[in-house]
Structure 1
């Protein structure tokens, strides 16, 4: 058995995101899922062979989702506006990585999400590229994702 026999390869993956009760739809790319341990170093007197390294805290990069402009694009603006007008509460997010056929490959749960930035498309009649938008979300760590979004 090779390592690929029982694995759905991440080719043509799309990402569906739920922010609490907000279904923001499908995205074509997702970057920033990860974690980093901040390490403090200490030098011990008389020990010239190594330096002690102590873990201090976890840091999580912002997650950026990008997609072509579509019918779900207005949902991002609604979500940002709701955060401002109804008082912000830290929420949770579920990001589903799915095949083109809609089969789930992986699911990630994020806690304490914070909207950081929405970048809308550059609209120009002289440009023939696909217009895209992206949304950037900060979070405070990973949690078990909700079933079904």
Structure 2
């Protein structure tokens, strides 16, 4: 098996549909944005204490993941996007792996759960070594966790 020409890509993206074998996305992307989480806070003011307020952690909100300019080994992202129309709960879990400058060594892994496809956009079509190009894909997710690879 030959090594795919992912030399310009610094992120590996792997997504797997819950309850199915095989990856729906095993690709590389040049840009990954939206790995973001924020916590809403609730402010409580203590009666008679005007000097401070108490902040309590509320719900956690997550951004949408955006993958840009990527290459995948098949039509899994497109199939998954289409499947969500008939099976609304076709959720996936996956990981975004950040690579070092040598594009081989894995540095950090972001683990995602409860993923649903929001958008898939094809680039201008060109024949490239049998790989499927993705201009942009957006994925909503329920949780994200970060793992440093030692």
Does the pair score TM above 0.5? yes
Match of 2:113 in 1: 111
Change (3 A) 1:80 1:107: same
How far, CA to CA, are the matches of 2:88 and 2:48 in structure 1? 56
How far, CA to CA, are the matches of 1:86 and 1:34 in structure 2? 27
Match of 2:29 in 1: 27
Aligned length: 126
Q: How does 1:128-143 map to 2 (within 5 A)?
A: 133-143=135-145
Residue 25 of structure 2 aligns to a residue whose secondary structure is strand
1:83 is displaced (CA, Å) by 3.0
> Where does the alignment leave 5 or more consecutive residues of structure 1 unmatched?
1-11, 124-130
> Where does the alignment leave 5 or more consecutive residues of structure 2 unmatched?
1-7, 17-22, 126-132
Aligned-pair Cα RMSD in Å: 2.8
- TM-score, with normalisation over the residues of structure 2? 0.69
Match of 1:53 in 2: 55
Instruction: Report the structure, 1 or 2, having the larger strand content.
Output: 2
Change (3 A) 1:50 1:87: closer
Q: How does 1:3-82 map to 2 (within 5 A)?
A: 14-20=10-16, 21-67=23-69, 70=71, 72=73, 74-82=75-83
1:98–1:105 CA contact under 8 A, matched in 2: yes
- TM-score, with normalisation over the residues of structure 1? 0.70
